[in-house]
Amino acid sequence: MIVLGIETAGPLGSLALLMGDGERKEVQFKSAGKLGAELAPTVQRLLKEAGLGPDSPPDLVVVDMGPGSYTGLRIGLAAAKGLAFAWNRPLLGISAPEALSTRVPEAPQVLCAMDASRGEVWAALFQRRSDGRLDLVEPGELYTPAVLSQRLTVPTVVVGDAAEAVVDDSRGIVAASQPVWPSALQVAELGRRRFMAGARDEGLDMCPIYYRPNEAEEQRRQRSMKEKGGKKRSRRG
């Protein structure tokens, strides 16, 4: 199975190809600001170098769903959906915390801590089962670093670009010696494993994971809350 991996949620972004013979190819962008202009031609170049193209596309497209860069996520997911549709190939989404957590193979508990700016950390907690797999036990939420650190009551390995804000060596809360962001290669490898295990996603319904609602969504939420509050007051009156 040949897999195309797309990772555009991080600081730079990357593309990867997993070939059927085990060969791995990966290209990293030099600047996140160039994603919009460079993503499509880079995909074309990567496929051409591997002897692939529109008539012989990869068997599976896998994309990082975030959280991460708002613009990068939109660009990457739009490209992944477009390619999967054009090639008539399945599409899978992998969250950044899921990809990062798999880089810590022996830790009994793994926290993915990502810098959400505004003094907050977006974090998701995983615990390892007896068969070695990681289960997501606390989905991603926003915390202050102090509150998040105090929630960890057992030794934990922390991954992600906000790991240093959470660690407390005296309590066994330590940072992983791994990259702070998943690569397209890691996303592709995890996606292939999930697909081979039977996982399937509905491409048209896939939406990025954001640290928090964007400004427009937050304004709609606040308007909705005000409208509901106004209706309640009217009924009381």
Tell me the domain boundaries of the chain.
3-96+181-213, 104-175
Beta bridge partners of 24: 18
Is-contact 128 109, C-beta < 8 A? Answer: yes
Lowest mean pLDDT among 48-62, 86-100, 200-214: 200-214
Q: What is the mean pLDDT of residues 55-82?
A: 94
In whole angstroms, give the CA distance from residue 145 to residue 192.
34
Beta bridge partners of 234: none
Stretch (H or E) spanning 110: strand 109-115
Closest to 149 (Cα-Cα) out of 125, 168, 176, 124: 168
Whether pTM exceeds 0.75: yes
Give φ, ψ of 130 to 5 degrees.
-65, -25
CATH of domain 104-175: 3.30.420.40
pLDDT confidence band for 230 (50 / 70 / 90): low
pLDDT of residue 231: 56
* 120-129: Cβ within 8 A, 24+ apart: 120/144, 120/211, 121/145, 121/148, 121/162, 121/165, 121/166, 122/67, 122/162, 122/211, 123/148, 123/160, 123/162, 123/166, 124/95, 124/97, 125/156, 126/97, 126/101
pLDDT of residue 219: 62
Top-confidence residue, 87 or 214: 87
Does residue 198 carry a pLDDT above 60?
Answer: yes
pLDDT in tens, 87-136: 999 999 999 999 988 878 778 899 999 999 999 999 999 999 988 888 99
- Residue 52 structure tokens: 């692939």
Q: What is the mean pLDDT of residues 220-233?
A: 61
Same fold flag, 3-96+181-213 and 104-175 = yes
Domain 3-96+181-213 CATH assignment equals 3.30.420.40: yes
In whole angstroms, give the CA distance from residue 17 to residue 23.
8
pLDDT of residue 212: 85
Q: What is the mean pLDDT of residues 131-151?
A: 91
pLDDT confidence band for 30 (50 / 70 / 90): confident
